[in-house]
Amino acid sequence: MNLNEKLVILQLENNKMKVKLRILWCLMLIVSFQDVCAEESANARQARRIFNSAYAQVFGEQGASLHYDVNITGIYKTDGTIWYKGKKSKFEDAKMNSWNDGTTVYTIKRKKHEVEIHSAKNNKSDKYSQKFKFEPENYNYSIAEDPEGLMLTLKVKKGKKGMKEIHALVGRKDYHPIRLRIKIAFIWTTIMVSDFKSGGITDEMLRFPSEKYKSYKFVDKR
């Protein structure tokens, strides 16, 4: 075998080695990517499971009550108490009271001495709450440890409508809501939750007491 033949063979062997190294490198990248995806999937599953538990404690058929402090940065601040049970709700704050029986919303405007009546499907009496409509399936979920509990992060899926981003702080053991930070367009809203109780809400507690407001003017805006 002459020198040229040896050089050709060496070149071929070298090329084979390069190909093997590239294949090995690609395999390592694939395995690494699969590991990352598996971790992300496990994190997302845990986040969704914990979120579902927290969500059910607030909006489940057993009902719930809580006090809230809302701060829409630079625009609006309010606080009050709200009671939920399925599609029914009632809330009280400094300016108004409202009852929602799942079909009709009755809102008390104390200064005007009026009762506004709205459809539950299109409640125009509270322009801010309409911005917080939420569909759980429209979001990607993740979870991380936080000094105060567990931080759930929800980011809206591409092409879906709704709040852009949600950071929900919940209790580490009971998953009770503690704080929400919500991004709508470029505006952040902070909601502090206190006195949270799950269960013990009756239908009678959420009934609109029309007998108390006989002297009020009823304005039907359905």
The per-residue pLDDT for range 41-87, each reduced to its tens digit, is 899 999 999 999 999 999 888 999 999 999 988 788 889 999 999 88
Whether 20 maps to a domain, the answer reads no
Whether 148 maps to a domain, the answer reads yes
The per-residue pLDDT for range 149-173, each reduced to its tens digit, is 999 999 999 988 888 999 999 999 9
* pLDDT in the model for residue 161: 83
The per-residue pLDDT for range 115-157, each reduced to its tens digit, is 999 998 876 655 555 556 788 899 999 999 999 999 999 999 9
CA of 117: how far to CAs of 107, 110, 138, in Å? 7, 14, 31
Q: From CA 126, how far away is CA 108, in angstroms rounded?
A: 12
Q: Look up residue 113 and give its two tokens.
A: 């001495």
CATH number of the domain that 175 lies in? Answer: 2.50.20.10
Q: Look up residue 220 and give its two tokens.
A: 């039907």
- What is the total count of domains within the chain? 1
Whether 153 maps to a domain, the answer reads yes
User: Of all helices (H) and strands (E), which one includes residue 6?
Assistant: helix 3-59
The per-residue pLDDT for range 2-22, each reduced to its tens digit, is 555 544 444 545 554 444 445
Whether 39 maps to a domain, the answer reads no
Q: From CA 117, how far away is CA 106, in angstroms rounded?
A: 5
CA 112 to chain CA centroid, Å, is: 34
Torsion angle of the four alpha carbons 106, 110, 112, 114, in this order, in degrees rounded to the nearest 10: 30
CA of 118: how far to CAs of 88, 90, 215, 222, in Å? 14, 14, 19, 5
Whether 4 maps to a domain, the answer reads no
Sequence-distant (6+) residues with CB within 8 A of 106 are: 98, 99, 100, 115, 116, 117, 208, 210
The percentage of residues in the chain with a pLDDT greater than 70, rounded to a whole number, is: 77
* pLDDT in the model for residue 21: 45
* pLDDT in the model for residue 179: 97
The per-residue pLDDT for range 25-45, each reduced to its tens digit, is 444 444 443 443 344 589 999
Q: Which neighbouring-strand residues pair with 99?
A: 90, 106
Whether 35 maps to a domain, the answer reads no
Whether 78 maps to a domain, the answer reads yes
Domain with 214 in it: 59-220
Q: Is the pLDDT of residue 24 over 80?
A: no
Whether 101 maps to a domain, the answer reads yes
- Are 193 and 82 in contact by the 8 Å Cβ rule? The answer is no
Q: Enter the pTM of the model.
A: 0.74
